[in-house]
Each structure stands twice: as structure tokens, then as C-alpha cells.
Structure 1
């Protein structure tokens, strides 16, 4: 049976990380084989995550421990996307940042000055130790006119013990105190998808987004003009799909079911290039 994805060749692949490739520190079935197949066929790809805590180097090490070999350059986080976006808005500006190494490193690398006064931006990211003093400072700076940016809208994050409050939940508290809503850069904002595609010289019409969530992964792929695959190894169940007013292009049980599609969807042009 022909895949519903086969409306055009697939040159580039974007995939979410948690719930698609890994769960906690375990590789999900087929994840190492999927990445290996992309590498074997020379397909351009990026692993995406809304988690802004870790640097790409940290995440590469985490994936390697799970047996998934992904180069650092093939990892794109909401922290990297946020820093890139803000650099294009106001390069070298001052920012008050609440977050961990993934976000602070990304902001430094894009030339920002991190400060707690006279800032153009307040940037809120993920952290396991949200400080009441830091949140209070952010509220006051936003009240003085700083622009409010957040890496992603996720209200909870996973842990072995259960859900943890995440960026979206803390942003809601800041909004309640200031009346100002943040601009979220991470998924489902298609901005994160476009910056990812630009990074690997991809085009939406020849790209596919793989994710485990309808409200972030599938939605962001759809709004960026991409085909999408929902895998059922994470947050969204088959029963949940009907609650949304949009659909993924294809629903598969796990990332292992995508392995064969990487070669199948290359298209004639890719085969001709391989022969050359």
C-alpha cells in the first residue's frame, strides 16, 4: 500500500526527541535504526526538542547513552531557536534570562549581554529550580517595558516521578502579574520549524515532521506547510486524535515503522543523484 506521505519526495526529516526517539533514558524501538538509515542514505535531518535546559552537546551525550548516534549539529532546541530569533530582532541587546545552560549558552553564542537591569528582553526558559526572586525580577522588568519572550509553551515536563511545572506554567504566572503575554518561539510556533529547515537547507514541501503530540509537533508541521507523522509512543493516543480539528498525514505505531519510508520516499531525483 502506498503511503499517504508519497505526494512528493522527502529530502529532509525533522523529528521530535522525547516520546519519539527516547523515553526518559531509553531508546524507543526503531530509533537507532531510523537515525542510522538517515545517515546511510545521506538524508538531511534535525532532532528537535522544546526542552531548553540542555545544550546540544548535552543532548547528544544523552542520546548516545541510549544507543542513538546523532551529531551535535543535528540537534535543534527551543533555546537555540529563541536565541537565533532574538539575534535577528536586536543583535547584541541586553536580556534578563531565566533558564539553565542550554538557554544561557545559546544567548551568549548569539552575542547577547545577560543582565538584570536596563534590558530589552526578558527571556524565560526551562529550569528545575525556578526562583521566586528571579520571577519577581522578571515581572518588574516587564513592567518597565522589557519584551517578554518564552522558549516554549509547555505547561508540564516529564520526570520519573511524574509531571513537573514547565515554562508555560511559569509564564502564566508572570502574565497574571503583568498582563503581558509572552511570545513563544518553540513548537507549535512554525517559526521553530522554519529556522530548523533553514539550518539544513530544507524546504517545507519536501520535508516531513515526526512527533508524538498533536498540539505541538503535528500542529507546527502543518502550519509550516509540511507533511507529518504522528507516532503513538508518547503523549497522544489514537483516541485523542479525533479531538483536534486537524490530522497528521500518517499515524504509525512507533518510529521503527518510519525506517522503511526513508528510502521509499526518496523519489526518482534522489535515486538519480545516488547513481551519479
Structure 2
């Protein structure tokens, strides 16, 4: 089947850490040559749209910043719909904070409506304690993504979902999850392509996030065995992706 648009994951699909995955640049080049639109759909909330795009450009990808859609952007869009101008406490990177501040939200450490948590590589006990206390006072908990682990050049390391689970366990409050596999981020990304979902293919390496996003929300999926979930684990799942390959160079976009 020929697809008219693509949603493409980053970590584990395009690159691992700072290393380009074999066949990834060629895959994007083929989409470009054939005039096929695509959006990079990433659960990574540690970078702004421009920063995420610049990493790809520096690696040799021929892309434009507008092709990036991050869970930080989806979180901002969700909050704009739910409570414009809300007061929020952010546990996460400076880029996540700037994305939310630029969307009109007030960043604060007290009397907040939401605690928003994204991957924080400088997480500590004080940050987790502050978040737990604010939630106990009535703030809603938002997780930019549920990834419990993600691939690096050294191996798999803890993701945002693992850290958010500390707050959920402490407070008994389950987070509102924005990123994959939730439909919130998928619908927003598909709308930027301007295509019906049955003409779009989602490409990713993580069954629990990438593949489930498609399975749960009506988009066909292509699992690439270059990241989090190995083929043998995917094959054990009750629901299977439409396609599975070892490397993107095996996939024809025509």
C-alpha cells in the first residue's frame, strides 16, 4: 500500500543518542525526492521545536523545523484548550519551560493549576517533593510522555514515565498523559499533514508508545527493529503492527 504521509519517531528510529541509525537519512531523502509530507512525532520534551530540528540538521538530515512536533508542543496545545493562561509548575528542561512560557502560561512554584513533568536529567528529591506537595494541594499532574526508558549509545536509560511514576505513587494521582501512545499528540500531528488517517503511516521503534499510538488511534504502523522493542517481543503481542522491518532501507516509499 502506498502512503501519502508519514509520522516518524526520532529516538531509536532516526538516531540513537548522537549516532544516526543506518538508513535513516536515506529514508528521509527518499520522502523528500518523492514529495511525500512527513512529521517527526517525538515524545522528547527536553528540546524546543527548533532545537530538535537542529539536532537532525547537524546530523545531516535535509529537513525543516516545521516538520517537528514534540510532546512539549502538544502539552502547550492541550493546556491552551483546557485552561489558557494557567499557572503551572514545571519539572523538566529549560526548553520545556520556555515552550510553555511562550504559549502564555505563568510558571510558578506555588498556587498552581498544573504540575507538568517532562524528562529532567537534573531530577532530585527536592524537585519530586515540591511536585508531590503541589499535587496534594490540588494541582493536576500532566506527564509530557509515558516513556519508561529510551535508547542511548550506552544502552537503555530511564525515561520520563519512570520518573513520573514516583509522583503518581506518592500522591495517588494518575497523570494526564500527552505523548504517544495517547491520541492527543497523534491527532495534532495528523492535522498538520492535512491527510485522512488511513493514508498515513506511523514509523517507530517502541511498541508501547509508537506502535500502540497507531493501533489505538486508527493509523497503520511500521515497526523498525533499531531501538527499544526487539522483534521477538513485538511478535508476542496480541496486536501486531501492519509492517515490521530491521532497517528503514528495506522500506519503499513509492
Q: CA deviation at 1:155?
A: 1.8
Q: CA deviation at 1:166?
A: 2.4
- When normalised by structure 1's length, the TM-score is 0.87
Cα–Cα, structure 1 residues 243 and 63, in superposed 2: closer, same or farther, change >3 Å? Answer: same
* Separation in 2, partners of 1:238, 1:154: 19
Contact 1:230 1:248 in 2 (8 A): yes
* Separation in 1, partners of 2:121, 2:81: 29
* Separation in 1, partners of 2:29, 2:71: 24
1:183 aligns with 2:183: no
Could you tell me which residue of structure 2 aligns to residue 123 of structure 1? 116
Cα deviation 1:104-123 (Å, max 9, x = unaligned): 12212221111111111110
Cα deviation 1:88-134 (Å, max 9, x = unaligned): 11111110011113311221222111111111111000111003222
Cα deviation 1:213-240 (Å, max 9, x = unaligned): 1111111011121111011111222211
Cα–Cα, structure 1 residues 253 and 156, in superposed 2: closer, same or farther, change >3 Å? Answer: closer
Contact 1:193 1:220 in 2 (8 A): yes
Could you tell me which residue of structure 2 aligns to residue 15 of structure 1? 8
* Separation in 2, partners of 1:203, 1:37: 22
Moved over 6 A (4+): none
1:217 aligns with 2:206: no
Could you tell me which residue of structure 2 aligns to residue 269 of structure 1? none
Q: Which runs of 5+ in 2 are unaligned?
A: none
SS at match of 2:129: helix
Contact 1:57 1:72 in 2 (8 A): yes
Could you tell me which residue of structure 2 aligns to residue 270 of structure 1? none
* Separation in 2, partners of 1:129, 1:163: 18
Q: What root-mean-square deviation, in Å, do the aligned CA atoms of Structure 1 and Structure 2 show?
A: 1.5
* Separation in 2, partners of 1:180, 1:55: 28
Q: Which runs of 5+ in 1 are unaligned?
A: 1-5, 264-276
- Across the two proteins, how many residue pairs are aligned to each other? 254
1:40 aligns with 2:16: no
